[in-house]
Amino acid sequence: MLPDLPWQLPDLLLWGLLATVAMTTVLQGAQGLGLSRLSLPFLAGTFLSSDRRRAVVLGFALYTLGGWLFAFAYFLLFASLGLCSWWFGALVGALHGLFLLVAAMPLLPYLHPRMASEYDGPTELRQLEPPGFMGTNYGLRTPLTTLLGQAVYGATLGGLAQLQGGLG
């Protein structure tokens, strides 16, 4: 049985969007500063299109939808544990980021239709570079910027929910 959420759907949608914007600002800022070459919206978009320009637009739409879906998962976790705060959200976000870096990123070359693998180099269809361990093929600071972005995402969700007066 799902726990009762002390928040309304419009609040959850707004907070999920704000958290996604905050995380995207950190990640795209890191890319702009040359700290990482990782662009999650671009990677998401290239699942759907080989046209790089279209992939960026589609990727941001898909990425925003994913941000909303993950926000619901975070809120369910907050409600089920009876705890939401910026620091708990940041902790959950950092753990989420660690999972992405250690478990999900290594799977990308096997799932992404346009990504080369560590074992099979690029082809005409598979031109994207594989992320490597913890995304370090996209820059040695990629793990740090990814963890920071995910922690900001979780802290934003936890902090907004706490400000609204929901849970511990």
Query: Which DSSP category does 100 fall into?
Result: I
Give the list of residues 6+ apart from residue 25 with CB closer than 8 angstroms, or none: none
Residue 31 pLDDT level (bands cut at 50, 70, 90): very high
Structure tokens at 12: 């959850």
Q: Is the pLDDT of residue 50 over 70?
A: yes
pLDDT mean across residues, the chain: 89
Predicted pLDDT at 8:
80
Q: Which range is least confidently modeled, 46-55, 94-103, 114-123?
A: 114-123
Region 108-136 average pLDDT: 83
Predicted pLDDT at 57:
94
* 8 A C-beta contact, residue 31 and residue 149: no
Region 77-106 average pLDDT: 94
Residue 161 pLDDT level (bands cut at 50, 70, 90): confident
Bridge partners, residue 115, by sequence: 128
Region 118-135 average pLDDT: 79
Residue 125 pLDDT level (bands cut at 50, 70, 90): low
- Rank 60-64, 74-78, 106-110, 152-156 by mean pLDDT and report only the highest: 152-156
Structure tokens at 54: 């279209």
Q: For residues 166 and 41, which has the higher predicted lDDT (pLDDT)?
A: 41
Residue 6 pLDDT level (bands cut at 50, 70, 90): low
Look-up of token digits 């959420």:
5
Number of helices and strands (H, E) in the chain? 6, 0
Q: What is the pLDDT of residues 53-71, one digit of tens each?
A: 999 999 999 999 999 999 9
